[in-house]
A = this chain, B = another copy of it.
Amino acid sequence: MAPHPLDPIFHPRSVAVVGASSKRGPASFVDHLIEQGCPRVYPVNPRGGEIAGLPVYPTLASIPGPVDHVISSIPASLVEPMLEEAGAKGVRSIHFFTAGFAETGEADRLALQDRIVRRAGELGVRLVGPNCLGLYVPASGLTFAGGCAKESGPVAFWAQSGTNANTAIYDGQLRGLRFSKVVSFGNAVDVNAAELCRYALADPETEIVGTYIEGLPDARDLFAALRALAAEKPVALLKGGMTQAGARSTRSHTASLAGSAEIWRAAVAQVNAVLVDSMEEAIDMLVGWRYDAVPRGGRVALVVGGGGVSVQGADDIAAAGLTLPDLSAATAEALREITPIAGTSIRNPVDTQALWRGVGLAATLEAIAADDHLDALIVQAGHGWGAVSSPGDARKRQARLLSELEQATPRLTEIGKPVAVVVPSSHEPASARLNGELMQQIVAAGYPAFGSIPAAARTLQRLDRWRARREARG
């Protein structure tokens, strides 16, 4: 199969950063590209000098080797001559970090955007943006931010927002996601969601797709691309501007016309993509697919340590459209043998001190997973609240919990039901640190991790419904 026409954008031999600043730090593309291992980076700035040990070229023309990709961080008013230079240099793609185009709502800036698009088309230069963060492609050493994983993975994320692209990468990698490609594509004057979805379908490195879309200049094209993609690969879709107020703000953000919420809901359901309501929910779905946590039904057991959490968790799971069936007599008997009676429950939810004491957790999980009445487990781990009086004790408990979880892994894998582990977040620094560490350990142990019981429940429910629809279509 011939590579998709977008493919070269993701594999540049070299990258020039036009408007590279000697100011280092979080906003420096040059620093980030070097850290990411980009094989050839050329800073460009008429001031010359050096940035991060690299010579700064005054112009694109003065760069000795070929330049495949350009990152533009010059002001909008300087973009036209740079585009001419890029065309002459044989540049294949330009990512416009530069903002201040159609999204400002000002006529002269819209006209400028139109001129650039037309001229880039004549020159055969593909455009990403403007008004966006561009490309993260670990295999090519491309990135727009620091601290991004160097390994590739099966997830692609297409985001019409730089913040959401960052959220996908940062929050996603904490939860075990690794990416084939992430594209922040802003005003989408050339590379857009539809083309990226067609690319994802063709891309052998991409198995799972998430996308954040604000506008649809061509709804028919986008839904056709989504339909083809979702028939082959799972797709989670977040739509910005589902309300009137949100739609108005897509115009200020990426000059996008948002379209009606009803049409989106209907169209996305029809193609069996999963429409979510926040970036957290998008990442939850990607985690579910990545860890094969797709249940074959909606019957869930909740395993917690604490009565209030049991009740709230049961309410949350039922509200998400799942059921909490009674455990079988055999399961109850097995649990009774390993669970002290006071302050516990061996009904469903199972309220067990095994989660606190870290003793008997493996046996508890194995007994529950084997129960034929159930399709999935949700296990609450971590510190639900407040100050940690003894971080040392807490770490010991966490280590025991993890060791029991690992001990149970072979049997749980054999049984094959999803085991979603919940690690809450916190604003209390000590709890937050402990829970952050625990989440990373749980992810490293191969489990899908979620930030709350409602999040885990909603995800399992959506995965189950997605599976059922997919099977119904053959």
What is A's interface to B at a CB cutoff of 8 Å?
Answer: 25-26, 75-76, 98-100, 103-104, 106, 131, 145-147, 159-164, 166-167, 169-171, 173-175, 212, 214, 240-246, 248-250, 252-254, 277-279, 306-312, 314-319, 323-324, 341-343, 345, 347-349, 351, 384-387, 389-390, 393, 423, 425-429, 432-433, 435-437, 439, 451, 454
Contact = CB atoms under 8 A, between A and B. Distances in A.
Given A249-B345, A314-B249, A435-B427, A240 B26 contact: no
Contact of A306 (B163, B173, B245, B310): B163
A451 B280 CA distance: 13
Given A248-B347, A341-B104, A241 B146 contact: no
B311 A162 contact: no
Interface pairs A-B: 3 shortest CB-CB = A170-B386, A161-B308, A100-B342
A170 B387 CA distance: 7
Contact of A246 (B248, B312, B433): B312
B423 A433 contact: no
Q: Output the residue of A104, A159, A347, A389 with the most chain B CB within 10 A.
A: A389
A23 to B, nearest CB: 11
A163 B249 contact: no
Nearest to A261: B315
Contact of A244 (B318, B386, B389): B318
6 contacts: A167-B384, A240-B308, A245-B318, A249-B345, A253-B311, A429-B432
A315 B242 contact: yes
A252 B306 CA distance: 11
Contact of A310 (B249, B323, B439, B454): B249
Contacts of A254: 307
Contact of A162 (B279, B306, B427, B433): B306
Contact of A311 (B145, B174, B240, B437): B240
Given A308-B212, A429-B433, A432-B436, A248 B314 contact: yes
A438 to B, nearest CB: 9
Contacts of A348: 245
Contact of A425 (B76, B147, B307, B427): B427
A147 B99 contact: no
A215 to B, nearest CB: 10
Nearest to A168: B385
Contacts of A432: 425-427, 429, 432-433, 436
A343 B161 contact: no
Given A100-B342, A425-B432, A432-B432, 10 more contacts: A100-B341, A147-B387, A163-B307, A163-B385, A212-B308, A240-B315, A245-B323, A246-B311, A246-B314, A253-B308
A314 B250 CA distance: 10
Nearest to A324: B245
A375 to B, nearest CB: 15
